Structure 1
Amino acid sequence: MSTSAMHVAKTGLNAQQSRIQVISNNLANVNTTGFKRDRANFESLLYQSFRPAGAQTSETTVLTAGSEIGTGVRMVNTEKIFQQGNLMTTDNAMDIAIDGDGFFQVLLPDGQMGYTRNGTFGRNADGLLTTASGYAVQPEIIIPDNAMEVNVSKDGIVSVLQSGDVAPQEIGQLTLARFINPRGLTPIGENFSVETQASGPAVVAEPMSEGTGSLMQGALEASNVNVVQELVEMIEAQRAYEVNSKSISATDEMMRFLSNKL
């Protein structure tokens, strides 16, 4: 029984260690544009049943509550919390924020379609609209060399004012992707996530249609990490880790006492 108690406490230590790692990653990305905080979810392990509820205690009575002892805890998954982050004004025409639901679509070097909330865009030597890493935004939009002004409307229409023109000229349309279960997306780093069977297929639509949010030019979406909340959860996890460690120490002392006295 004592070794079982140590095992249970060990699962608690592992669980709190995983939780601390999730919290640390949230805090590390507090200034990452478009980052969505993660939350660790836990579940209890199997129970050892010695006498089930309803077992016969006499000819006319049954046990009202069973005798079960848990075997510990484990982390079942981590999930993204897609709460809207604050919109920060940058006054940079290439910065675009999403106000509402949806993801920008970016073609990754391996051919996969990446989805991100980070709208820190620029243009390469060919005028192609890209991310800060140089990956092409989809659908592709080419900004002319002589463009004096770039405008992006709330519904994603991209227009430019070229030298010598009086009126802006439309050059493309930005679209957003939605998912039935965005928490099923797999994060792969660089602020990108990729589609999975759990997320369902991407539903691509123009901004402000089919449930997608609107675009805001000259702004970026800040991380939705709340530093105070994360610090409180870190202290809570630290205390829980200490308690589980004390459980192991207490069990070890009990076993030492038995070995010395018997």
Structure 2
Amino acid sequence: MSYGALHVARTGLDAQGFRMQVIANNLANVNTTGFKRDRANFETLGYQIMTQAGAPSSAENRYATGLNLGTGVELAGTSRMETQGTLQTTGNALDVAIEGAGYFQVQMPDGRTGYTRAGNFDRAPDGTIITPDGKPIQPQIQIPEDATSVSIGADGTVSAQVAGQSEATELGRIEIARFANPSGLQAIGDNILVETASSGAPLVGAAGEEGRGTLRGGMLEGSNVNVVEELVDMIETQRAYEVNSKMIQATDEMMKNATQTL
């Protein structure tokens, strides 16, 4: 019986250790543009059924509840919380935030399409709008060399004021991808997510249409991490870890006493 308690407490230590890592990653990315916090989800391990509920306890009676012994806990997965981050005005013409559902599309080096909420874009030497690490947005949009100013509309339309022209020139439109299950997207680093079977296929189109959010030029979406909430979760996790540690110590002392007595 004591060996079983040691195993259960060990699974508790492992689970709380994983949760602390999730919290640490959330806090580390508190200032990351467009970052969405993760939540650790747990589930029980299998149960040892010593006595089945409803089994005969005598010739005329049956057990009302039975005897089931749990074997611990495990991390079932992590869920990304898709709540809106705070919009921050930057004044940079190529900064753009999504207000609502959806993701920007970028071209990955391997040819795949990546998805991101980080709209801190830049301009390549050839005028292409790119991410800070050089990934071009999809569809690609190029800014003329003689453009004096650039603006991004709520529907994703990118316009530029070109020297010698009285009216702004439309350069293209930033399209937004929406997913049936955005939490199913897989994070691969660099603020990039990729499609999975769980996320479903992207529904691509203009911003503000068919459930896609609108765009806010000259703004960035901040992380949705709430430092106070994360600190509360961190303290709770620390206490749970300590309790499981004490359980191992208590079980060890019980086994030691039993050995000495026998």
The answer for the alignment partner of 2:227 in structure 1 is 227
Helix, strand or coil at the partner of 1:137: coil
Equivalent position amino acid for 2:149 in 1: E
Following superposition, the deviation at residue 62 of structure 1 comes to 1.6
Answering whether residue 136 of structure 2 is matched by residue 136 of structure 1, we say yes
Structure 1 residue runs without a partner (length 5+): none
* Partner Cα separation in structure 2 for residue 257 and residue 225 of structure 1: 48
Equivalent position amino acid for 1:217 in 2: G
* Partner Cα separation in structure 1 for residue 85 and residue 66 of structure 2: 47
The answer for the alignment partner of 1:172 in structure 2 is 172
Equivalent position amino acid for 1:14 in 2: D
Following superposition, the deviation at residue 40 of structure 1 comes to 0.5
Helix, strand or coil at the partner of 1:65: coil
* Partner Cα separation in structure 2 for residue 86 and residue 255 of structure 1: 54
CA deviation string 1:92-127 (max 9, x = no partner): 101000000000000011211110000000110000
Following superposition, the deviation at residue 59 of structure 1 comes to 3.3
TM-score by length of 1: 0.99
Structure 2 residue runs without a partner (length 5+): none
The answer for the alignment partner of 1:59 in structure 2 is 59
* Partner Cα separation in structure 2 for residue 122 and residue 252 of structure 1: 59
Helix, strand or coil at the partner of 1:118: coil
* Partner Cα separation in structure 2 for residue 42 and residue 105 of structure 1: 32
Percentage identity across paired residues of the two chains: 54
* Partner Cα separation in structure 1 for residue 5 and residue 139 of structure 2: 57
Equivalent position amino acid for 1:99 in 2: E
Q: Is the 8 A contact 2:94 2:151 kept in 1?
A: no
Moved over 4 A (4+): none
Helix, strand or coil at the partner of 1:158: strand
* Partner Cα separation in structure 1 for residue 7 and residue 178 of structure 2: 43
Helix, strand or coil at the partner of 2:24: helix
CA deviation string 1:164-198 (max 9, x = no partner): 11111111011000111111111000000000111
* Partner Cα separation in structure 1 for residue 201 and residue 128 of structure 2: 26
Equivalent position amino acid for 2:168 in 1: P
Equivalent position amino acid for 1:152 in 2: I
Equivalent position amino acid for 1:138 in 2: Q
* Partner Cα separation in structure 2 for residue 60 and residue 172 of structure 1: 81
TM-score by length of 2: 0.99
* Partner Cα separation in structure 2 for residue 60 and residue 221 of structure 1: 68
Following superposition, the deviation at residue 61 of structure 1 comes to 2.5
Equivalent position amino acid for 2:134 in 1: G
How many residue pairs get aligned? The number is 262
* Partner Cα separation in structure 1 for residue 2 and residue 252 of structure 2: 8
Following superposition, the deviation at residue 152 of structure 1 comes to 0.8
Equivalent position amino acid for 2:88 in 1: M
* Partner Cα separation in structure 1 for residue 201 and residue 74 of structure 2: 30
Summarize the alignment of residues 1-262 of structure 1 with structure 2, pairs less than 5 Å apart: 1-262=1-262
CA deviation string 1:120-179 (max 9, x = no partner): 001100000000111100000000011111111100111111011111111101100011
Following superposition, the deviation at residue 56 of structure 1 comes to 1.3
* Partner Cα separation in structure 1 for residue 62 and residue 155 of structure 2: 67
Q: Is the 8 A contact 2:33 2:222 kept in 1?
A: yes
* Partner Cα separation in structure 2 for residue 62 and residue 93 of structure 1: 75
* Partner Cα separation in structure 1 for residue 138 and residue 225 of structure 2: 28
Following superposition, the deviation at residue 79 of structure 1 comes to 1.2
